[in-house]
Amino acid sequence: MMNEIATRWFSFALILIIATILLLSYNGYNCCGNIAHMLSHQFTTDNTTHMVSHQFTKDNTTHMLSHQFNNDNTSNSGSSGISLPPSFASHYSVSKDAPLSNDALNLFYSSFQCVNGNPGDIGTEGSWKERQCIFHNVCVQRSGSSSLYIADYFYPASITSLSSTVIRANSTFLALRHGQPDGGSKIQVRLVPLNHSNRSDPNRNLHYLNETYLMYQILADGDMNFGHVIFDDAFGLYAILKQFRATEYNSPNKNHVLVFRPCEDFSKYLSELCVKFTKGIFPVVTSHPVRSIDSLFNSSVNSNRICFRELVAGQGAAGAIGWEPENFNRGQIFSNFRSDLLLAHQINPNIIPKQHHILLVNKKGRRKFHNLHEIYNKILSTPRYAEIKVTIVDDFRNLTITQQLQLFQTVTIAISPCGGISMFFFFLPRQSALIVTGYPYLARLEAPLWDYITHLNIMHYQIQSKDEFILRPEHASLPIPLRNYADIILKTEKLFPLIDKAIIASAMKSS
């Protein structure tokens, strides 16, 4: 009997103990959730205290890992750099406490940064057509050939292996004109050992131009198309400036554009266009007149060699047209380019017209609208368009660049053939639309630009049948490229729905 009672009490006590353990276990994770389960380790070595704490809570789990280091050799101020070692400062003859910039070493030797191709090796000739580089502390001189220039690249005389590693001597490594990799000017590098501590070294105290210079083969013969000058020339240089940390935020008054062929080298008509476009477009890049490289050489004390603190060279795939992969992340650069160019002409980039204005482009030569005046009259006679201003623009030749840009700010719907002429309308106001026609049976020509523009409503009028274009009699029986000789026949049943869609889209955006 006693044994039976003892057994029952033992079983009850065991159950009570198990229940208590379970209850304590539950409370340890929930009731104490704010304190949680903390594990701290603290130890001291010399003057350094290290503390690592871990905090965990169940359900709404919080994990905290903190490290604290206090040591005479560290700083957590976030504002002071690591002091120059005295031996290093002595080697470069500077005070270890002297304020320094990122370009401190450029006071002694050359350096470079490249994008595209093989950015770390400017001697890889196979990719020089695609490369853009910024150089610090280099000198450029003319060679016997008018299209070849030599860049002196200064490196520490003690580094004898440089020519076989990063830079290879006498390699042609830069093309200086978008779209002309074989016919444009080129630069070769020449390695020049420099011992800056040797006061007799002839390259020790050179005179450098201190602002940013961009070398470029601009405005080729027969390529004086306003749209292409904007997006292959000016935008190419503008985009390059945004790629390098040293120039990303610089202002136009710091930049100088040097061209290999000045405007006066072209025939009279092209020379006039060159001056007009250069003065009208390049203020987005530089506030200084665009000048030839030869004029800089001729005005220099040493006409054989000019030295630059910052030299940007190479165009490669920097232009916007035909380089769709390069444009993928350029949305903000396109937007900034538009705003900066409009501001350079004292035009507010945020203008939104209060009334609709349809602009029809009467292009001369190839890729024109065959029935433009017929379409113009049909728009005027359509009741739903009765209160909309409709204009045919025949020629921009007599307008200055500022006048063209001002005209565009009044337009809400532009109807244009494709090609360089359509790229004028990149500068249309926000909430406006561009209806751009294609070529017969061909894809959209300017898609690499229009697909990355967000301030405009871009609509493509596709040409897909033989009754939508016409060939001139002299070309009708020849196997010729339609993109060059076909005139577009606009059809109201295709065009008017696009106009209606543009009107509705602009109204929705403004509501």
Q: Which residue has the tokens 């090796």?
A: 121
Residue 64 within any structural domain of the chain: no
**302 shares a domain with 194:** yes
- Tell me the per-residue pLDDT of 458-476, one tens digit each, with 9 for 90 and over: 999 988 888 888 877 766 6
For 498, counting Cβ atoms within 10 Å of its Cβ (0-12 exposed, 13-18 middle, 19+ buried), the class is middle
Here the tokens at position 35 are 């304190």
Contact 321, 446 (CB under 8 A): yes
Tell me the angle at which helices 401-408 and 268-281 cross, rounded to the nearest 10 degrees.
60
Lowest-pLDDT choice from 3-7, 180-184, 309-313, 441-445 = 180-184
Here the tokens at position 333 are 């650069």
CA 478 to chain CA centroid, nearest Å: 42
| Residue-level pLDDT at 91 | 65
Instruction: Give the domain-ending residue among 262, 286, 318.
Output: 318
| Residue-level pLDDT at 403 | 94
Higher pLDDT, 483 or 380: 380
Residue 79 within any structural domain of the chain: no
Contact 233, 319 (CB under 8 A): yes
Separation of alpha carbons 184 and 176, rounded Å: 6
Instruction: Give the domain-ending residue among 318, 340, 361.
Output: 318
Q: Among 119-123, 200-204, 451-455, 499-503, which range has the highest average pLDDT? A: 499-503
Residues 244, 249, 253, 258, Cα dihedral to 10°: 20
Separation of alpha carbons 43 and 500, rounded Å: 75
Nearest CA among 139, 140, 121 for reference residue 131: 121
For 489, counting Cβ atoms within 10 Å of its Cβ (0-12 exposed, 13-18 middle, 19+ buried), the class is middle
**344 shares a domain with 441:** yes
- Tell me the per-residue pLDDT of 239-296, one tens digit each, with 9 for 90 and over: 888 888 778 888 899 999 988 778 888 888 888 888 888 899 999 999 999 988 888 8
Separation of alpha carbons 81 and 336, rounded Å: 33
| Residue-level pLDDT at 390 | 97
Tell me the angle at which helices 372-381 and 492-510 cross, rounded to the nearest 10 degrees.
60
Nearest CA among 145, 168, 162, 140 for reference residue 311: 140
Q: How high does pLDDT run on average in the chain?
A: 75
Q: What three-state secondary structure class fits 65?
A: strand
**471 shares a domain with 332:** yes
- CA-CA distances (angstroms) from residue 13 to 8, 17, 26, 214? 9, 6, 20, 90
Here the tokens at position 27 are 């409370």
Residues 289, 403, 444, 461, Cα dihedral to 10°: 180
Residue 18 within any structural domain of the chain: no
Instruction: Give the domain-ending residue among 265, 285, 318.
Output: 318
Domain limits at 442?
324-510
Please state, as a whole number, how many other Cβ atoms lie within 10 Å of the Cβ of residue 86.
Answer: 10
Residue 490 within any structural domain of the chain: yes
Residue 482 within any structural domain of the chain: yes
Here the tokens at position 385 are 């368009």
**262 shares a domain with 363:** no
Lowest-pLDDT choice from 5-19, 135-149, 292-306, 395-409 = 5-19
Residue 313 within any structural domain of the chain: yes
Residue 55 within any structural domain of the chain: no
Separation of alpha carbons 51 and 43, rounded Å: 7
**374 shares a domain with 308:** no
- Tell me the per-residue pLDDT of 47-91, one tens digit each, with 9 for 90 and over: 433 333 334 344 443 333 333 334 444 445 455 667 778 777 766
**308 shares a domain with 365:** no
**157 shares a domain with 264:** yes
Separation of alpha carbons 407 and 425, rounded Å: 10
Q: Which residue has the tokens 């005295």?
A: 86
Q: Please name every residue paired with 471 in a beta bridge, in sequence order, or none if there are none.
A: 486
**284 shares a domain with 370:** no
Residue 170 has pLDDT above 60, yes or no: no
Lowest-pLDDT choice from 72-81, 321-330, 374-383 = 72-81
CA 475 to chain CA centroid, nearest Å: 41
Residue 46 has pLDDT above 50, yes or no: no
**244 shares a domain with 146:** yes
Q: Please name every residue paired with 357 in a beta bridge, in sequence order, or none if there are none.
A: 389
Residue 397 has pLDDT above 70, yes or no: yes
Rounded CA Rg of the chain:
34
Number of domains in the chain: 2
**Residue 486's CATH number:** 3.40.50
**159 shares a domain with 306:** yes
**388 shares a domain with 493:** yes
Amino acid residing at 114: C
Residue 217 within any structural domain of the chain: yes
Q: What three-state secondary structure class fits 296?
A: helix
**273 shares a domain with 188:** yes
Nearest CA among 231, 248, 252 for reference residue 240: 248
